[in-house]
Structure formats: structure tokens, C-alpha cells
Amino acid sequence: MPYDRPNTTMHKFTLCEDCAVEYNNPFDRRFHAQPNACNKCGPKLLLVDKHGKKIDSKSPIISAAKLLRQEKIIAIKSLGGFQVACNATSDDTVLKLRKRKKRPVKPFAIMLKDIESIKKYYYLSKKEIESLTSARAPIVLLKKKAKNYTVSWYVSLYYRYEGVMLPYTPIHHLLFNHMDIPLIM
């Protein structure tokens, strides 16, 4: 069958004894659950440098959050491929990203931790909150607040509106557990 574990990307992760018992037991709720894995036998997060060399880190998420706070540009492997992320409050970092991506004027989208964080920077209607918190996890155009607006002007240049989104994957949520700054994603 095409969706059996040996024919999926999970074939790289050999099941430990406990997970193998669950996977092969027709009376277990995890019977033939293709992504079944645990901390022993499942995928692991890792941090690599720009050359693909693994960086030793007890917690790659905490290390990535630290790099973002230090105004570094990082790539995050996510659902649809890689996302480039950086601190959206740093003019220098946003300008560096614009140069690297050869994107002189097109606005970037911003990801913030939660609705309360978004309210600090943008005007929000009830309908916009509903859109942001829906399962579709869209990018919503929101009007910037002038007061206390610390997101870099270079994110959207002369535009009064910016594309804003909430974390929508587990790795985004884990990252925002360790930081509370707006990110370009």
C-alpha cells in the first residue's frame, strides 16, 4: 500500500519496541498509524549552520529563538518547505533580508505570537480576529498603529497595511514559547 509506513518519509525512523507493538496491534488505537513515533524513535529537531553542519544544542528551538533575538536570519523547515525568518523590529536585519532575497520593495508578512501581541501593533476588527484564528491560518492585511509601532519601517515601506499571521505549525508555537517579538516569515 502506498501509505504504509515503509513507503512514506517515516521509513527513515525505525520504530522502537514500544512503538512497534502499538503499530502492529490491531486492537491499539495506533495500529498502522503511519506517523507513530516517540522521543526515542521519532524525528528530532536539529540546528544546522549555513553549510549544513549540525550545531550542538540541547534545545534547537531555544537556540533558534536566541538567534532571532540576536537579529540573525534563519531558515525553518516547515510544512511546505523552508521559511526564512528574522526579527521584524531590526532595520539592519530587514534590510539584509531584502538584499539577500533581491526584494527591494515587496512587503514581507509578519508573524506574531498571539492576538494580544497583534493588538499592540495593528488595528483589529472582530472579523479580522475570526480570520486570523481560523483553521485556514491566513495572512490578513491589517492597518498599522502609529503609536508604539516598533516593527521596522522596511518591512512594508510606505504601505499603511501589513500582512499579519499567527503561528500555524507546532514548530512556530514552540518557537514563540521562547520569544515575543514580531518575525518576518
Q: What is the pLDDT of residues 90-115, one digit of tens each?
A: 999 999 999 999 999 999 999 999 99
Residues 104 and 55: their CA atoms lie apart, in Å, by: 32
Q: Which pTM does this prediction carry?
A: 0.85
Residues near 115 by beta carbon (within 8 Å), at least 6 away in sequence: 124, 129, 132, 133, 166
Q: Over the stretch 114-151, which tens digit does the pLDDT of each residue have?
A: 999 999 999 999 999 999 999 999 999 999 998 767 89
Task: Domains for the chain: give ranges and CATH numbers.
Answer: 1-43 (no CATH), 47-184 (3.90.870.10)
Cβ pair 75, 85 in contact under 8 A = yes
pLDDT (average), residues 65-72: 96
